[in-house]
Amino acid sequence: MTPVLDRVPIDQPAIIEAVDRETAALLRRLLGGFLELDLQGEPLFDEVTGGHVLTHLSREADRMADELLAATGRPLPEYDADRRWDVERGGLRPGAVLIDDFIESSERLAAGMHGVQGWSSLDQTLRVLPTRRLVQLLIHHADLERPWEDVADTDAAIAVSFLPILMPTELSDIRLVARTGQDVVVAERNDDRTVIVGKPRDLLGWACGRTHIMDETLPRLTFRTWF
């Protein structure tokens, strides 16, 4: 069954601006709380540490940048040897190295996104990269213990509109409806689908498994580590 997507009125510049803003927010937290953030300490969940999360974000930014650069005929810069780390091994690097890696990869992605002259000429997989990046930043910044309440509903609304594409299997029989002023996430029935209604931030947290809502009527989705 094809996922139903309740879109919000957004455009590519607005999404890229949100990505820039969320990237800067995470970087400020990393730099401002460097001594307090234990990136190789106790796992955040399962065996995943903060170092693993940061390495995942860096490698995803590199991958997205490469795809955009290649698709728009721009040269791909060489990687430093110190940045050719996968998530499992890269997560063990010192904190300062992890942060430098995140800065460089984020700058490459920003240049890749801002340098696109005609998004409409790209295929769908490339057009949704900025939105996919926004979802990654919102979810994994929360994994690094940013309070979920700090996620802006405007950014969450963009992310929620993309979830049926990002999570087609989990949301195949579910329709997400963002509703301002809805205090809790609730499930309703509409023909053969379950309609999940709530504030954008609450919907995003529920669908991605980052918030726990005590409502037995809500479907149970498989927890997903990486976005």
131 is a domain residue? yes
Q: How confident is the model over 27-55, as a mean pLDDT?
A: 84
- Per-residue pLDDT tens digits for 178-220: 887 776 777 777 777 888 888 999 999 999 999 877 677 788 8
C-alpha 113/C-alpha 30 separation (Å) is 23
137 is a domain residue? yes
Residue range(s) defining the domain that contains residue 18 = 12-149
Sequence-distant (6+) residues with CB within 8 A of 139 are: 204, 208, 210, 227
Q: How confident is the model over 80-93, as a mean pLDDT?
A: 83
pLDDT in the model for residue 217: 78
Q: Which has the closest alpha carbon to 22: 154, 119, 206, 117? A: 154
How would you classify the pairing of strands 193-198 and 174-178? parallel
Q: Report yes or no on whether pTM surpasses 0.95.
A: no
Please report which confidence band the pLDDT of residue 36 belongs to, taking 50, 70 and 90 as the band edges: low
pLDDT in the model for residue 77: 83
- Per-residue pLDDT tens digits for 133-186: 999 999 999 999 899 999 998 999 999 999 999 999 999 989 898 887 776 777
pLDDT in the model for residue 139: 97
The mean of the pLDDT values for the chain is 87
53 is a domain residue? yes
201 is a domain residue? no
178 is a domain residue? no
Asked whether residue 110 carries a pLDDT value surpassing 70, the answer given is: yes
Edge-first strand order for the sheet with 186-190 is 174-178, 193-198, 186-190
How would you classify the pairing of strands 193-198 and 186-190? antiparallel
Q: Dig out the tokens for 87 from the structure.
A: 């998530």
Q: How many domains does the chain have?
A: 1
84 is a domain residue? yes
CATH code assigned at 46 = 1.20.120.450
